[in-house]
Amino acid sequence: MTVTEPTAPATEAGHRIVLEAAGVTMRFGGLTAVDDVSMQVREGEIVGLIGPNGAGKTTFFNCLTGMYIPTEGRVTLNGETLPPKPLKVVRAGMARTFQNIRLFANMTALENVMVGRYCRTSSMALTSILRGPKFRREEAATRERAQELLAYVGLAESAEILARNLPYGDQRRLEIARALATDPQILLLDEPTAGMNPKETEETMHLIFKIRDSGLAVVVIEHDMRFIFNLCDRVLCLVRGTVLIEGSPGEVQSDPRVIEAYIGGDDDEEEDQ
Ligand SMILES: Nc1ncnc2c1ncn2[C@@H]1O[C@H](COP(=O)(O)OP(=O)(O)OP(=O)(O)O)[C@@H](O)[C@H]1O
Ligand SMILES: [Mg+2]
């Protein structure tokens, strides 16, 4: 009698693992950029990834998103192993932004977001060649959704501006809108506030909270510690490819090894470890 009670699935919210990386290792010749890194991200969580320059943060993202095939390890989304192909990863429900902004510079803001949407429509196929009614319907829906997403990230007024003419902070926001256009369950952000002023950084923090509140899991790479510790539920600190510490913002913030990793991390200054 109670089998169909609608409350059943909701009790799992916040506990279900969306993304799991197990023992991910990435070697480039003799250099091990990512060394046996494991991470779990649960529904509704914001996880921070910090670490000094060259620690392997972006390389780890590249392993998660199918840009690199990890030398070792496994990445699963909702329990399914991810194929190491970026488009397939996007279709499976994981979207990202890039440390070095990758927009179509000569397309408008709106068109950039529409491009993100195409992985969910059939418009790349025969319908777009024939340009029949189905294509026009999809195109109109895509345009409408893209406009909504621009408004969502605070760029409603910039729809017709070419991406290359947008201020830097707006370009970062536009990348987020394009990533959201793919309907992800998890969003990976690589330095979303780099180059932003304090006001834009604050707005970005609220945007990420809003995205989380809409049901997505988020993983954020950032060097701005104030931003990371105010934003995240959990933080991993990577140093030379390995996880130095994982914990709550409070735990990570107060761990002397983290500060040492940032200010004193040269090999020749360290004792054997
Ligand atoms: N395609 C590649 N081929 C060879 N080495 C690479 C490649 N990509 C990254 N690396 C190396 O891997 C290491 C980790 O680089 P990565 O860009 O992941 O660091 P990061 O933590 O993102 O640094 P930053 O904070 O500066 O962005 C560096 O030593 C880098 O030079
Ligand atoms: Mg990086």
Q: CATH 3.40.50.300 spans which residues of the chain?
A: 17-93+184-220+232-266
Phi-psi category of residue 195: left, alpha or beta, with phi > 0 → left and psi -120 to 50 → alpha: left
Which ligand 1 atom sits nearest the alpha carbon of residue 68? Answer: 1
User: Could you tell me which CATH number the domain at 17-93+184-220+232-266 has?
Assistant: 3.40.50.300
Length of the chain, in residues: 273
Distance 58 CA to ligand 1 centre (A): 7
Mean of the pLDDT values across residues 212-216? 95
pLDDT digits (tens, 9 = 90+) for 78-99: 999 998 889 899 999 999 999 9
Q: Is residue 208 exposed (0-12), middle (13-18) or buried (19+ Cβ within 10 Å)?
A: buried
User: Nearest C-alpha to atom 17 of ligand 1 is from which residue?
Assistant: 58
User: Nearest C-alpha to atom 10 of ligand 1 is from which residue?
Assistant: 33
pLDDT digits (tens, 9 = 90+) for 186-212: 999 999 999 899 999 999 999 999 999
Whether pLDDT at 265 is above 90: no
pLDDT of the residue at 129:
59
Cβ(56) – ligand 1 distance below 6 Å = yes
pLDDT digits (tens, 9 = 90+) for 148-179: 999 999 999 999 999 999 999 999 999 999 99
Distance 59 CA to ligand 1 centre (A): 6
Q: Using CA atoms, how far apart are residues 64 and 232, in angstroms rounded to an integer?
A: 19
Reduce the secondary structure of the chain to three states and give it as a string.
CCCCCCCCHHHHCCCCEEEEEEEEEEEECCEEEEEEEEEEEECCCEEEEECCCCCCHHHHHHHHCCCCCCCEEEEEECCEECCCCHHHHHHHCEEECCCCCCCCCCCEHHHHHHHHHHHHCCCCCHHHHHCCHHHHHHHHHHHHHHHHHHHHCCCHHHCCCEHHHCCHHHHHHHHHHHHHCCCCCEEEEECCCCCCCHHHHHHHHHHHHHHHHCCCEEEEECCCHHHHHHHCCEEEEEECCEEEEEECHHHHHCCHHHHHHHHCCCHHHCCCC
Cβ(99) – ligand 1 distance below 6 Å = yes
Sign of CA dihedral 70, 72, 78, 84: positive
Q: What are phi and psi of 44, to 5 degrees?
A: 75, 10
Q: Using CA atoms, how far apart are residues 82 and 74, in angstroms rounded to an integer?
A: 8
User: Nearest C-alpha to atom 5 of ligand 1 is from which residue?
Assistant: 28
pTM of the model: 0.88
Band (263; pLDDT cuts 50, 70, 90): confident
